[in-house]
């Protein structure tokens, strides 16, 4: 009987011990932040002198090296709001699809709290940003605490706590180390770029640690109140959810024969490039007197003669749908959702290779053909690449057709036809806008069609992106169940 009582007390004792240690750590971070806040608020001279000396030292070290500045700016973007909000949003959507609404609530609360704390404390302290001899970057608002340091600590820490159970035990410590290094580098770049003092970054880290600790402790109490075991944080917030949040647990191999697939793709890439080169050279330099020459002469003139302010503005927006940022944004939203719904990497691989192949084929063919832009006003000015083929149109074709190929056979709901419609509307709209703006000939559009058709056909034949559908794979959530996600989220936020 005594042994039974002792075994019953062990979980409670372990929880009490862990809670005490965790509370001490959270309290320590909070106290340290409070002390630092007071020193900054009352402008303690030794701290101010040290901050300004460090800012000047980093500025002298970094400013003369432009490649280093580029690298630092790329790293610092990983702690910016656009990247962090995208990561948290995609994670929340994926968790809701996988029926992990408690974890989704945790990410929402933790992320929103970080967004609130940053501007509030900056307004309270009102510290100006560093002034350096050679400014190499700029940022709006006040300086203390660093929003990048705070946001990266909170976002990457929360994502790590949520998704640790999806990792094999041997990868958990490396994942923790990678997240810690990333957070450290983001903070370091803010100092090196001259937009924050050292104390700003330290304040962001301390506040981030305190807030992340509070939310993690609250989640553990939440589990405890519902009679669930409370594991150490090194196992994540909900170890039992590991199978559900693993990206593709049912897929042992992405491709059955990866080596032969790589060889087929390389050979196919060369063939597609050859077709683009042949057509591009013909319409650019050897099609005089043909229908291609007539189209490339008359169509740009026809568009140029019909320029209006309204149409020019509309064409600018349509053209933006085909640029790198828009294509990347749509891809970064579509691929994680497909992975969450169908638990297969192959459709994601299909989309990724579609975009990578399009980019490499476009750059290679544009470089060798070197076709000049149409002899009309080029509304976008000088471009770094030549006219054939149109990169905007080719990227739009590859992305939207690839998405239609993935979605259409995987559901019988009416909205699958929206993807088919978008696969037509988006490329036609982008093509019209690019020709209206005098940036491409009609045969550049044809070249983009050739690129997209041949490359996507090759990928479909090699990758077989919908093979799992034929094998009976069902979506994680049926389309008619989408409305239930809001109900689950609300239920997770209410005490049982």
Q: Cis peptide before 137, with omega less than 30 degrees from 0? A: no
C-alpha distances (whole Å) from 64 to each of 60, 139, 195, 196, 244 are 7, 20, 17, 19, 49
Residue/partner pairs of 251-257 with CB below 8 Å, 24 or more apart: 251/343, 251/344, 251/345, 251/346, 251/468, 254/345, 254/346, 254/349, 255/346, 255/349, 255/463
3-state SS, 300-352, equals: HHHHHCCCCHHHHHHHHHHHHCCCHHHHHHHHHHHHHHHHHHHCCCHHHHHHH
Could you give the CA distance from residue 67 to residue 78 in angstroms, rounded to a whole number? 18
C-alpha distances (whole Å) from 361 to each of 44, 56, 96, 402 are 58, 45, 38, 16
The tokens describing 4, both together, are 């039974």
Q: Where are the domains of the chain?
A: 10-245, 258-472
Could you give the CA distance from residue 241 to residue 232 in angstroms, rounded to a whole number? 15
At 29, give phi and psi (nearest 5°).
Answer: -65, -40
- Per residue in 136-155, pLDDT (tens digit) is 888 888 888 888 999 999 99
Could you give the CA distance from residue 218 to residue 104 in angstroms, rounded to a whole number? 14
Mean per-residue pLDDT over the chain, rounded = 84
Would you state the pLDDT for residue 457? 95
Would you state the pLDDT for residue 140? 82
Would you state the pLDDT for residue 479? 47
| Closest to 344 in 3D by CA, of 471, 224, 446, 493 | 471
Query: Please, what CATH class does the domain formed by 258-472 belong to?
Result: mainly alpha
The tokens describing 162, both together, are 């949520």
- Per residue in 101-120, pLDDT (tens digit) is 888 989 999 998 888 888 88
Would you state the pLDDT for residue 5? 41
Would you state the pLDDT for residue 290? 92
CA atoms within 13 A on the CB side of 62: 26
C-alpha distances (whole Å) from 216 to each of 106, 219, 272 are 8, 5, 52
Could you give the CA distance from residue 343 to residue 247 in angstroms, rounded to a whole number? 6
At 202, give phi and psi (nearest 5°).
Answer: -60, -40
Question: Which of the 8 DSSP states describes residue 251?
Answer: -
Q: How many CB atoms lie within 10 A of CB 217?
A: 17
Q: What are the 10-residue block averages of pLDDT along the chain, 496 residues in total?
A: 42 49 68 80 84 85 84 90 91 88 90 86 82 80 86 93 86 90 93 87 90 86 77 78 75 77 94 95 91 92 91 91 89 89 89 94 92 89 85 94 92 89 94 92 94 95 85 58 50 50
In whole angstroms, what separates CA 111 from the centre of its chain?
16
Could you give the CA distance from residue 12 to residue 18 in angstroms, rounded to a whole number? 10
| Closest to 170 in 3D by CA, of 253, 117, 234, 84 | 234
End-to-end CA distance of the chain: 32
């Amino acid at each position: 009987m005594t042994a039974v009582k002792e075994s019953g007390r062990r979980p409670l004792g372990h929880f009490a011990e862990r809670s005490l240690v965790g509370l001490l750590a959270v309290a320590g971070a909070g106290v340290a932040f409070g002390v630092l806040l007071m020193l900054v608020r009352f402008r303690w001279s030794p701290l101010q002198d040290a901050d300004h000396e460090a800012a000047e030292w980093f500025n002298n070290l970094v400013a003369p090296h432009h490649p280093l500045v580029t690298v630092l700016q790329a790293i610092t973007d990983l702690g910016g709001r656009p990247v962090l909000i995208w990561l948290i949003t995609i994670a929340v959507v994926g968790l809701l699809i996988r029926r992990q609404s408690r974890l989704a609530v945790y990410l929402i609360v933790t992320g929103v709290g970080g967004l609130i704390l940053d501007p509030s404390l900056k307004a309270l302290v009102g510290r100006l940003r560093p002034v350096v001899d050679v400014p190499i970057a700029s940022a709006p608002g006040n300086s203390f605490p660093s929003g990048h340091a705070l946001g990266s600590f909170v976002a990457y820490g929360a994502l790590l706590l949520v998704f640790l159970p999806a990792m094999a035990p041997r990868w958990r410590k490396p994942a923790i180390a990678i997240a810690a290094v990333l957070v450290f580098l983001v903070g370091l770049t803010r100092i090196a770029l001259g937009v924050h003092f050292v104390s700003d970054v330290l304040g962001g880290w301390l506040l981030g640690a305190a807030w992340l600790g509070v939310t993690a402790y609250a989640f553990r109490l939440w589990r405890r109140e519902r009679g669930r075991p409370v594991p150490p944080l090194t196992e994540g917030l909900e170890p039992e959810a590991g199978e559900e949040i693993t990206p593709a647990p049912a897929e042992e191999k992405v491709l059955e024969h990866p080596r032969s697939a790589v060889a087929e793709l390389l050979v196919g890439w060369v063939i597609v490039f050859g077709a683009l080169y042949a057509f591009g050279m013909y319409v650019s330099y050897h099609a005089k007197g043909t229908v291609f020459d007539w189209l490339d002469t008359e169509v740009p003139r026809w568009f140029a003669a019909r320029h209006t302010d309204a149409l020019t503005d509309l064409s600018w927006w349509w053209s933006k749908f085909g640029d790198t940022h828009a294509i990347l944004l749509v891809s970064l939203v579509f691929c994680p959702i497909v992975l969450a719904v169908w638990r297969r990497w192959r459709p994601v691989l299909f989309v990724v290779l579609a975009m990578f192949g399009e980019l490499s084929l476009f750059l290679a063919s544009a470089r060798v053909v070197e076709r000049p832009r149409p002899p009309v006003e080029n509304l976008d000015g000088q471009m770094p690449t030549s006219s054939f083929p149109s990169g905007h149109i080719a990227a739009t074709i590859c992305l939207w057709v690839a998405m239609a190929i993935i979605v259409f056979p995987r559901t019988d709901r009416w909205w699958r036809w929206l993807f088919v419609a978008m696969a037509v509307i988006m490329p036609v709209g982008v093509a019209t806008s690019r020709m209206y703006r005098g940036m491409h000939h009609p045969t550049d559009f044809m070249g983009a069609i050739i690129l997209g058709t041949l490359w996507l056909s090759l990928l479909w034949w090699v990758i077989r992106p919908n093979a799992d559908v034929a094998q009976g794979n069902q979506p994680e959530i049926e389309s008619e169940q989408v409305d239930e996600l809001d109900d689950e989220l609300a239920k997770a936020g209410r005490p049982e």
